[in-house]
Structure 1
Amino acid sequence: MNRRKFLRGTTVLTGLFTISPSVIFSNDLEAVAKKGKKAKNIIFLISDGMSSGTLQMANLYSKNILGKNGNWMNLYAENKVSRALMDTASASSAVTDSAAASSSFGGGHRVKNGVLNIGPNGEKYLPIWQKFKNAGKKAGCVTTVTITHATPAGFCVNSDSRNAENEIAEMYADLGLDVMMGGGDEFFNASKREDKKDIYKMYEQKGYQVLKEKSDLENIKKGQRTLGVFNSGALPYTIDRNNIAELQNTPTLAEMSAVAINQMKDNENGFVLLIEGGKVDWAAHANDIAALIHDQLAFDEAVKTAIDFAEKDKETLVIITTDHGNANPGLIYGKEAVENFNSIANYKYTNEYILNAIHADFNLQQIKDLIYQTNKISLTDEEAKHLLSFYSGLEKQETGLYNYKKLPFKAYSEIQKKHNNVGWISMDHSGDYVELAMYGPGSEMLKPFVQNIELHNLMLKAAAVIA
């Protein structure tokens, strides 16, 4: 047989089943689509502020206490995903905030911390969810913090300030985004806004159904544009919701994610959806291990929701990552490290809930009783005195992001550390490289190490969208 003809023939045959690297990495979007690798849908999951230690400890807790491996880690164990490390820097720092990080994904450019898709000279970078809307796809965001917060906003709008949440609430309506769910009633409710604008009414006039209770998800009108605002401020931490009856009228991240997918999945041109576990970041800022682990596990359930859909759908690219690290928590070496770590199963509430329950008129025994009832930790008299000092005004210096009451988060986490072997390097963001995983059409384009801005064009290329 002629060797040249044989080789040419085998190339044709193998081409029926595989895509050559030149096609995978080319800018020829038409070629990618023709090879059957086009992503009709994209689901982008962000566990905000998730350091690698957060992922590890949540998975260890899941295995040791719940008796199962985590969904994200199962994707690694079963070799189902492409995996990379990602550099999360912003234009102004090696340590990003959530606005600049989200803008890297959303606008494809690194911007300064604090702004959303605005360049150094006022350039406006068109956010990616707008690009996909222009291409005929439906677009949505669900989060456990305010829906107007930095991470969802970075996929959707341009703003000089991440703090302009009143304005961002109005921008979403003007853009006609299809599903928006999370917290933030104060940015929509006329009685809570300084300008007294009724933003809910604005949405209703544009044809949106407005949801305010978890039960509203059961009576949703299929396919109709949806605004779900289930709390003032962020949604409750998962562990508090699980143990406090009055908080159980708010949905979980996985429940919101499933509804959002169902609302958009029948669109002939597909959909794009951001899913954010926003309170993972807030828990890290507070050095609150119970809050951190349980909200990471709640995020992990949303990962399962997305992957379950994608495995059946076959046309969905799922991206799983974080926007940056935070506080770099980790399990610390010790003779009884694992046993001590497992004691976190005794924690029934967040540190935020526990520390809010302490008052200046408490005596030492009352504090000791409260801590034992909620964490099964027996405080010494000195530890109880130290905690009480924060409430008597002697040590009111503890601040930290999202700690306007100046609760002694750091002091209490140091006490817990003696019992659970969990340490923290800070109460703020970190510049470490972070985990990134992809499943589905387009995931083969992922390189082992990427900058955050590269995901913008990867999504467009995977969906064969020219913007």
Structure 2
Amino acid sequence: MNKRIKWVSLSVAIIVLIAVVLVAALPQQQIANASVDNGYAGKKAKYVFFFIGDGMAMPQVNAAEIFKGTLESDNKMHKGKLAFTVFPYQGMQTTQSNNTFITESAAAGTALATGHKTNNDILGMDETKTVKFKTMAELAKEKGMKVGIVSNVSIDHATPGAFYAHEPTRKNYYEIGLALANSGFDYFAGGGLLAPTGPKRDKTSIFDIAKNNGYKVVNTQAEFTNLSKQDGKVFAVAEELAAEAAMPYDIDSSSGQVTLADLTRKGIELLDNSQGFFLMVEGGKIDWSCHANDAATTVRDVLAFDNAISEALKFYAKHPNETLIVVTGDHETGGMSIGFAGTEYETFFSKIDNQNLSFEEFDKRIKAYRNLVGEQNGNLNDWLPILADNFGLTDLTDYDKSRLKSALAASMVDPKKRGKDPASYLLYGPYEPFSVTVTHILNQKAGIGWTTYAHTGVAVPVFAQGVGGDLFQGYYDNTDIAKKIMNIMGVKPQ
């Protein structure tokens, strides 16, 4: 009996050893992909929503929840859940591009739209700039579904462009606009175009080409409100635009201006049909405010993005067995953190609620002041009432004031005369020195830190609800998100 037990134990040990050797012999990529399942054999989703918060990872999501909780309750430990953070299926995605661990939006957008990696700056093509990748939006259109693309930045920017354009560089704005006008997609809405008549302003307007291709182009609030299915294909540009043909930050928007939620709601109205639809909605200005290290502007844009997702949830409530909603970011921006050395284990998010305009609007005031007083006459005392009114900064220390004085002096120099000093970049990045220093001081007092004016390479959360949603659990690459959505939608990844 003892011999038999010893023999069984020895056999088991040998089997385990063989298994270990076999696993060790497998290619590393095969091991890495062993737990990633993109296959789907269930019911296909008829309605697919893909929400992308540009620059949004866990820090931005968590900060928005803490900020929302601060607004909702006097209990400083109350965290306000977002519409998408309570989704039943959640995972994490890696974001590296083909040539760097820190991606930019064109490469990340290409991965999310097509399921393929590419180099930074390339849009919808491979790294050799010779192969064009089919996007999930194009495949959905070929299947007979209606397709919508929405963004609150210019609609020819990298993330929206990744769903319909194929260019060797994301900077080919006119060519990206041509791809939009020739796409045949049913609904474009949000920001405008960065180069509608080309870089030299000598080409046929993209808006005219779109009209000739059957699009109804609207750019007023009244026209947008009155859109109906009878209008056919639509290209709707928000009436109020800010810098770079983008919609204003939510913190700067006036009452009655069209919002990302409005664009989403109208998109659902126009796209709903018996063959189903695919709708991509980007919260693009989350990224821009994170580049500038402006936390108050960031969290308010995350909340505006969340409001757009709530519109999809209203539709989902009517079609729960036919709808898939996926929410993620393309990368993290700014190296945002909840925690700062000066506040240790405390946070004071009520402080950023005192900010009532974005860095972009504050920059305009700095420029006007510079033009008024001249380069040598900047005085911090002129700004102290403004900092109190617009940022709630009434508790400035001597150290704070010394930083602000140095930054104000730097901002008094005309931008065209400023050199490229590495030390200055570490302090202010490419932004207005006084503006970014003001938001840094406010953020730090709230317990929020930043590490960069660019992107970071951290993993990004994925949230899903509806048909096939369980496929998004786990830890996988950003290209897997595209493959999962395509399979659930019933189109074959190319």
Normalised by the shorter chain, which TM-score bucket? Answer: 0.7 to 0.9
Cα distance in 1 for partners of 2:206, 2:291 equals: 31
Q: 2:468 aligns with which of 431, 442, 452?
A: 442
Matched, 1:236 2:242: no
Q: 2:156 aligns with which of 116, 132, 148?
A: 148
Distance change >3 Å, CA 311–CA 425, structure 1 → 2? same
TM-score of the superposed pair, with normalisation by structure 1? 0.85
Summarize the alignment of residues 49-60 of structure 1 with structure 2, pairs less than 5 Å apart. Answer: 49-60=55-66
Summarize the alignment of residues 328-339 of structure 1 with structure 2, pairs less than 5 Å apart. Answer: 328-332=335-339, 334=343, 337-338=346-347
Summarize the alignment of residues 30-41 of structure 1 with structure 2, pairs less than 5 Å apart. Answer: 31-32=41-42, 37-41=43-47
Answer whether contact 2:411 2:432 (CA < 8 A) is retained: no
Shift of 1:393: 2.2
Distance change >3 Å, CA 302–CA 112, structure 1 → 2? same
What is the DSSP-based 3-state SS (H/G/I as helix, E as strand, rest coil) of the residue aligned with 1:357?
helix
Answer whether contact 1:128 1:156 (CA < 8 A) is retained: no
TM-score of the superposed pair, with normalisation by structure 2? 0.80
Distance change >3 Å, CA 434–CA 182, structure 1 → 2? same
Q: 1:87 aligns with which of 81, 84, 94?
A: 94
Cα distance in 2 for partners of 1:296, 1:185 equals: 23
Residue 106 of structure 2 corresponds to 99
How many residue pairs match? The answer is 426
Structure 1 residue runs of 5 or longer lacking an equivalent are 1-23, 243-247
Residue 182 of structure 1 corresponds to 190
Distance change >3 Å, CA 63–CA 178, structure 1 → 2? same
Matched, 1:392 2:389: no
Answer whether contact 1:367 1:384 (CA < 8 A) is retained: no
Answer whether contact 1:124 1:158 (CA < 8 A) is retained: yes
Distance change >3 Å, CA 187–CA 399, structure 1 → 2? farther
Shift of 1:466: 3.4
Distance change >3 Å, CA 405–CA 213, structure 1 → 2? farther
What is the DSSP-based 3-state SS (H/G/I as helix, E as strand, rest coil) of the residue aligned with 2:150?
strand
Q: 1:201 aligns with which of 200, 208, 215?
A: 208
Cα distance in 2 for partners of 1:178, 1:71 equals: 33
Matched, 1:109 2:121: no
Cα distance in 1 for partners of 2:263, 2:325 equals: 17
Alpha-carbon deviations, 1:265-294, whole Å to 9, x = none?
12x211101110000000000001111111
Cα distance in 2 for partners of 1:387, 1:141 equals: 40
Shift of 1:428: 1.1
Q: 1:297 aligns with which of 298, 303, 308?
A: 303
Cα distance in 2 for partners of 1:76, 1:55 equals: 8
Distance change >3 Å, CA 219–CA 71, structure 1 → 2? farther
Distance change >3 Å, CA 120–CA 376, structure 1 → 2? closer
Distance change >3 Å, CA 430–CA 81, structure 1 → 2? same
Cα distance in 2 for partners of 1:377, 1:192 equals: 42
What is the DSSP-based 3-state SS (H/G/I as helix, E as strand, rest coil) of the residue aligned with 2:229?
coil
Matched, 1:274 2:285: no
Tell me the C-alpha RMSD between the 2 structures. 2.6
Shift of 1:139: 0.8
Answer whether contact 1:399 1:406 (CA < 8 A) is retained: no
Cα distance in 2 for partners of 1:322, 1:186 equals: 23
Cα distance in 1 for partners of 2:357, 2:262 equals: 21
The structure with more radius of gyration: 2
Residue 380 of structure 2 corresponds to 364
Cα distance in 1 for partners of 2:262, 2:52 equals: 16
Residue 453 of structure 1 corresponds to 479
